[in-house]
Chains A and B, each alone.
Chain A
């Protein structure tokens, strides 16, 4: 294999593997921007993977599978929303509980589905003409599926909403200073519910993508810690969808290189990088003005009660 083919193959796989990371991260960015930390991403993703696979297998429609994955992810996130927003329970514990529940439930429900290949995965697209572009063509326009492109479109849309629209200002103000937002007539809890729901839906789609498109089969625990990489990525991205995209592909590349560079670099070292990066980023933005501009939303993990500062 020549160098160019090698790089093209790596980048193409990076794009494919980065997509579920990107989807999950976009969702978690919105969730956290509204002031809610959801550590249940892994649980929502694996439920999405199970629901997507079983639906696609039964109905023969992979897209219906993705839709059900979105629904199940969304429904799961509402458990966290109810516990942490309505009951004002501890967000850390609630998120962990969601992950345990999701891993357990998908393991129990999915037992009889294991090992069956999905006969109808989401089809891969090769754009005529575009795929002939040297170098970029085979990476971007050959053998990827529609979700890959939709997720990139979603980055633009979600970035625009967050930074250039009223909705975005509302979300950010709820996460930074809920009391002020409340005094301006914003329904803090409703915004938070919706943002948690967005996070759940996208995590569900990410899971569905894994089991219906990326590796069309169901395996217990198939998300294999991806949900935690999403948590790391959200920090790495400074809660910004555009940087989230860069991060998702960077982490996906590291993951792929951990296999491809095996003879030269310790794979475990590359696999541990995303987690180490998250800590390094937190250290880098831990000071002063940087913390204010690029750090975590000020009200992250704090439930909001009117008249309580």
Chain B
């Protein structure tokens, strides 16, 4: 194994944690500065806008609660994505996998006729299975036929969107929801408890936190995690070492799709209590989670922090909309900027490292 690790260190030097943290913070600051220009262009002082966002999203009980409830689906999707990204599987499809989870949960809640106690557990299981199923299709296509994962996961998102739209306009449209494209409201045994008056559905939050820890242990401590890392970092070595790329790809997408499915269950059972239009179920959580996972440098534990950060940004978007009258779309601008600065800054880290190597 020795020449192998030497080879790796030469080509993909791993920057120290401090450098990564510093560069990530710089990237976020740069995005804040550029986004600040937009605030100024709207005649709002950037400093005041950021003060309002921080105060609104973190300084009040309501803001804090909104931040956390936005962070829940980002956490679940983000943790799953770190696992897929570790194996270099480009899962751009968390959005669709989330929607499938929501569909399965709604199906169980409305039509299963299960006894009340079993309802919620069955919804979570069904959500996991459905999300995983949606993720396993592209995984199988890549592992078996070598088909590009980016494209298939993306396309599956749109198929999922139309599936949901068909259900809520057609067969699942609630008879009691006159004129609206919703399903009926879930029975109360199929809704998740929240922390007092907030919209924080805490069972999903706890699930997300526990899974972040478990995913971290999986990656760092287990044989399967080791195989995932080898497949992602050096596929040739993986083949040489007899690691099955096929099994690994299916495993990471089982997890990644399943966790996104959980997120979908949480949204319909914790927030909406019904299946409704795709843009209402997921406010681009599946796509935002890509940034969340990327910023966390594919470390599931760090996702706990980065998902909260993007929770702040989303809750902040509501704040600037309400108190400054600025469009919520600024959130998208900001997300795009962060993503650009993040990937742009990665070359910075590579240079740093090659410099320190030369010194040795």
Contact = CB atoms under 8 A, between A and B. Distances in A.
A79 interface: yes
Contact of B332 (A101, A268, A269): A101
Contacts of A111: 327, 329
B254 to A, nearest CB: 19
Contact of B343 (A87, A231, A271): A87
Interface stretch (B99-107, B146-154, B183-191, B352-360): B146-154
Contacts of B344: 83, 87, 89
Contacts of B38: 108
Interface string B76-108: 000000000000001010000000000000000
Contacts, number: 134
B340 interface: yes
Nearest to B169: A268
Contacts of B146: 286
A interface, size bucket: 35 or more
A107 B166 CA distance: 27
B341 to A, nearest CB: 9
Interface in A121-174: none
B101 to A, nearest CB: 19
A235 B155 CA distance: 12
A6 B328 CA distance: 42
Interface string A266-294: 10110110011011001100110000000
A94 interface: yes
Contacts of B159: 272, 275-276
Interface string B275-303: 00000000000010010001000000000
Contact of B336 (A89, A92, A100, A225): A100
Interface in A31-50: 37, 39, 43
Interface string A71-108: 00000000100010001111011101111111111111
> Secondary structure of the A side of the interface?
helix
Contacts of A51: none
B180 interface: no
A272 B163 contact: yes
A107 B329 contact: yes
Interface string B320-340: 000000111111111111011
A18 B37 CA distance: 37
Contacts of B90: 92
A301 B158 CA distance: 22
A296 interface: yes
Contacts of A301: 150
A36 B260 CA distance: 29
A232 interface: yes
Most buried by A among B156, B169, B294, B335: B335
B170 interface: yes
Contact of A268 (B150, B152, B166): B166
Contacts of B294: 93
A75 B331 CA distance: 22
Contact of B155 (A96, A271, A278): A278
A228 interface: yes
Question: 6 closest Cβ contacts across the A-B interface?
Answer: A104-B332, A107-B329, A101-B336, A104-B333, A97-B339, A100-B336
Interface of B: 38, 90, 92, 141, 145-148, 150-152, 154-156, 158-159, 162-163, 165-166, 169-170, 287, 290, 294, 326-337, 339-340, 342-344, 346-347
Interface of A: 37, 39, 43, 79, 83, 87-90, 92-94, 96-108, 111, 220, 225, 228, 231-232, 235, 266, 268-269, 271-272, 275-276, 278-279, 282-283, 286-287, 296, 301
Given A89-B343, A107-B328, 12 more contacts: A39-B150, A83-B344, A87-B344, A93-B343, A94-B340, A96-B339, A100-B332, A105-B329, A108-B326, A220-B329, A235-B151, A275-B156
